[in-house]
Amino acid sequence: MADKESSISGDTEVTVLGLGPMGTALAAAFLDKGRGLTVWNRTPAKADGLVARGARRADTVAEAVAASPVTIVCLNDYAAFHRVLDPVGAGALAGRTLVNLNSGTPAEARAAAAWADGRGVGYLDGAIMVPPVLVGRPESVLLYSGPREVFDRYEPTLGLLGDSRLLGADPGLAVLLNTALLGMMYATLNGFLHAAALAGSADMSATEFADLALGWFMPVVLSPASLAEQAPNLDKGAYPGDFGTMTMNLNALEHIARTSVEQGVHAELPALMRELAERAIAQGRGAENYFAMFEVFKTPGR
């Protein structure tokens, strides 16, 4: 059994539960950095490559968790987390720390933290913000939430996976921010894909459209710097309409929706954007700029 105090030295042995593509990448990163590693997967053969490199294969979850002071859990979701760990006896879990990198919701993360606390287990919830191929690089960001003392104890180990950032004590924060960032990613992708489809309805290739959109429009109109400049106004709720109002933007959104219909392109996304602008105007924000949509998004929809 690993010495629990070894965590302070920065040479902590690690267990990884779950060897899908991401779990395998996590395990490989620890091996690359010379850490002692125990692995477990429901299908044992998935560990063969890691075992060939020096990892120890545990026959049971209890054996895997007992082998190291800290266990990285990388399963599909919180239901899988409980399905795998609920049967483990208190003796194997006592005094250990679980770092849960599953996907789910903030409420599920808080419930998992309460489950761990009730068993005397240290707990961090986390989110990996890069694809498996980038795990282990210093610039790759991983988000964590939970007790500062737990994070500080194992940060030298977690830092082997990338840039580790503790968001706060609330265990739901990491999965919440992960969801927020993924929502932004999908909204951006959908916007680009819809726009490329609209351009394609006039026989413009996606390659040609990308040169126009990404070479000029996005860097000038929607650059990270321009969005960051507006962030303080979101915090203050200040949306001056000196250079464009919500009513003016509704006119543009109406044209996007109508043009999509005319060109035979899927029109539900622009119709939704138009509806949201109409809702903002109905709330009295017609003379404010488009960033006032932030106030609409902060409240439940119909």
CATH of the domain at 238: 1.10.1040.10
What is the per-residue pLDDT for 11?
A: 66
Q: Is residue 98 in some structural domain? A: yes
In which residue ranges of the chain is pLDDT below 70? 1-11, 302
Domain with 86, as residue range(s), is: 4-169
Measured in whole angstroms, how far is the alpha carbon of residue 163 from the centre of its chain? 14
Q: Are residues 132 and 117 in the same domain?
A: yes
**Domain match, 107 and 142 both:** yes
> Sheet containing 122-128: which strands, arranged edge to edge?
56-57, 37-40, 14-17, 70-73, 97-100, 122-128, 141-145, 163-166
Task: Find out whether 168 and 146 touch, Cβ atoms under 8 Å.
Answer: no
Residue 212 to residues 8, 37, 195, 196, 205: CA-CA distances in angstroms? Answer: 53, 49, 11, 10, 11
> Do 127 and 214 belong to one domain?
no
Give 236's Cβ-side CA count (13 Å radius). Answer: 8
* pTM value > 0.85: yes
For residues 56 and 114, membership in a common domain is answered with yes
Considering the domain architecture, whether residues 157 and 252 belong to the same structural domain is answered as no
Task: Based on the fold, state whether residues 54 and 110 are members of the same structural domain.
Answer: yes
* Domain assignment of residue 302, yes or no: no
Final residue before a domain boundary, out of 109, 143, 169 = 169
The residue from 153, 169, 185 where one domain ends is 169
Residue 128 lies in a domain: yes
Q: How many CA atoms lie within 13 A of 159 on its CB side?
A: 10
Is 19 within a domain? yes
Asked whether residue 225 is domain-assigned, the answer is yes
Is 79 strand, coil or helix? helix
From 146, 169, 192, give the residue that closes a domain: 169
CB contact burial 81-108 (16+ within 10 A = b; e otherwise):
beebbeebeeebbeebbbbbbbbbebeb
Looking at the fold, whether 122 and 184 belong to one and the same domain comes out as no
Residue range 55-65, pLDDT digits in tens = 999 999 999 99
Residue 292 is classified by DSSP as G
Task: Kindly report, residue by residue over 119-178, the tens digit of the pLDDT.
Answer: 999 999 999 999 999 999 999 999 999 999 999 999 999 999 999 999 999 999 999 999
Residues 10 and 147 in one domain: yes
> Are residues 82 and 125 both part of a single domain?
yes
**Pure H helices in 127-267:** 148-158, 173-200, 206-212, 218-221, 224-236, 246-262
Does residue 92 sit in the same domain as residue 237?
no
Residue 268 sits in the same domain as residue 163: no
User: What pLDDT score does 4 carry?
Assistant: 40
Same domain, 148 and 203: no
Q: How many domains does the chain have?
A: 2
Q: Is residue 279 part of a domain?
A: yes
Report the pLDDT value the prediction gives residue 146, as an integer from 0 to 100. Answer: 98
Beta strands 122-128; 141-145: pairing state: antiparallel
Domain contains 289: yes
* In-domain check, residue 35: yes
**CATH code at position 53:** 3.40.50.720
pLDDT at 267: 96
